[in-house]
Structure formats: structure tokens, C-alpha cells
Chains A and B, each alone.
Chain A
Amino acid sequence: GESVGLHLPTLSVQEGDNSIINCAYSNSASDYFIWYKQESGKGPQFIIDIRSNMDKRQGQRVTVLLNKTVKHLSLQIAATQPGDSAVYFCAENANDYKLSFGAGTTVTVRA
């Protein structure tokens, strides 16, 4: 399953499939990006980050891709599991003390 465009609030994906969550950021000066996962009733939890001098970074079952030319960030989750159901946020930092969050994407995993 994949969310497309500037922002799609929800993404439904079959268990075992790969998920792609997209994010368009606004500040061309941003040089550090983070993906957070927020489960129902909990606070956001760090998943993976990437600096602007990279275009790809991999973690455990997750990959973040950064395209600075079009100011686009994506999070790929391999073999999506029920525990991946959550709201996912991208966040950007422009070398100041603030982290600016994008609108979240709600991921629902179908059994």
C-alpha cells in the first residue's frame, strides 16, 4: 500500500505487504528529518532519521528515502505487521531548535 500526493490521511495495507508513507516537507533549509510512530493513546516514538547529505537510510524493516530536489520524504515498511498500525509523522528540522511535524498518516493493517 502507498500514500500519494502531498498528504493522504489514511493508508490501508494487507498484512505482509510493504507500506509506503509519503511526506512533502516545506522548508528548503531543512537538513534533518525524522519519522515518528504514534500508537493509539500513546506519545510519538522515534523510528528513523536521515540527514540531508543522504538520500537513503535503512533500519530494521524500515527504510527512509529523501529527495531534496522535490522536497519529498518517504517511509517504507517491509512486511507490514498488525503492530505497525499507528499514525506516522514526518518531522523536519532547519538547523534551529525546533522540530516541525507534518500532518500524520494513519496506517491500518488488514489481517
Chain B
Amino acid sequence: DTAVSQTPKYLVTQMGNDKSIKCEQNLGHDTMYWYKQDSKKFLKIMFSYNNKELIINETVPNRFSPKSPDKAHLNLHINSLELGDSAVYFCASSPGTEISGNTIYFGEGSWLTVV
């Protein structure tokens, strides 16, 4: 009964490939996020969606495309993978878009290694 689940947990792929990471939350939350954590543990937001609508799109390369088929799912597709894309990608969700008072719940992370 994992609240925010993402797959795969580990992914090793070659440069130039296209890959997807899937995320699902069973908390009934309206807002979902993708965060990227680099090798120095810096966590940075990439995208957020509220009820399938894009709310935040940070300066992320166009090769990254989020897709939210419904408010319980937010998938991340990455085209033409580069070495610098190697990181841990965290999916998260919260009841609403207002940060204050809406706890953000994180998934377990997807470790992406590009070789």
C-alpha cells in the first residue's frame, strides 16, 4: 500500500536512448511533482501538475516531457538521454498546490544511470 510508487527503481541505459519513469499515487492528492537529485544530493524541482494541468516547468531541457493521464499518475519521458541525466528522480504528491500546510510525500526514487 505504498503511497507514492515509481517504476523502475533502477535503470541503466545507453546515451541516446529514450526512457520513461512511471509514477502513481494512491493518496487522492491533486498535485504531483518530479524532482531531480544529483550526485551531491541537491534536490531540485522539475515539474508539477495539478489535476493533470502543468503548474511548474522549471528550466528543464525539452528532452524531458512529463505526462499526466489522470491526477493519480505523472510519468516522465526522457528523450536522447545524456550522461548528465544520470541522477535520482523522485516523484512526489501533495493534497494541493499551496506548499504551506500541504505536506509533500515523496516516492522511493528512480536511480537513472546513463552510460
Q: Which positions in A face B, CB cutoff 8 Å?
A: 31-32, 38, 41-46, 49, 51, 87, 89, 93, 95-101, 103-104
Q: Which residue of A lies closest to B41 (CB)?
A: A104
Of A49, A96, A101, which one neighbours B43 at CB under 8 angstroms? A101
* Contacts known (A42-B108, A46-B104); A93 close to B99, Cβ less than 8 A: yes
Query: Interface range on chain B: under 10, 10 to 19, 20 to 34, or 35 or more?
Result: 20 to 34
Of B41, B44, B107, which one neighbours A43 at CB under 8 angstroms? B107
Of A42, A46, A87, A100, which one neighbours B103 at CB under 8 angstroms? A46
Contact A101–B44 (Cβ < 8 Å): yes
Contact A44–B106 (Cβ < 8 Å): yes
Q: Kindly list chain A residues whose C-beta atoms are within 8 Å of the C-beta of B90.
A: 43-44
CA–CA, A104 and B56, complex, Å: 23
Of A32, A89, A97, which one neighbours B56 at CB under 8 angstroms? A97
CA–CA, A13 and B101, complex, Å: 31
Tell me if B25 counts as interface (CB < 8 A to partner A). no
Contact B43–A89 (Cβ < 8 Å): yes
**CB under 8 Å from chain A, chain B span 8-55:** 40-45, 48, 55
**CB under 8 Å from chain A, chain B span 90-115:** 90, 92, 97-101, 103-109
Contact B98–A97 (Cβ < 8 Å): yes
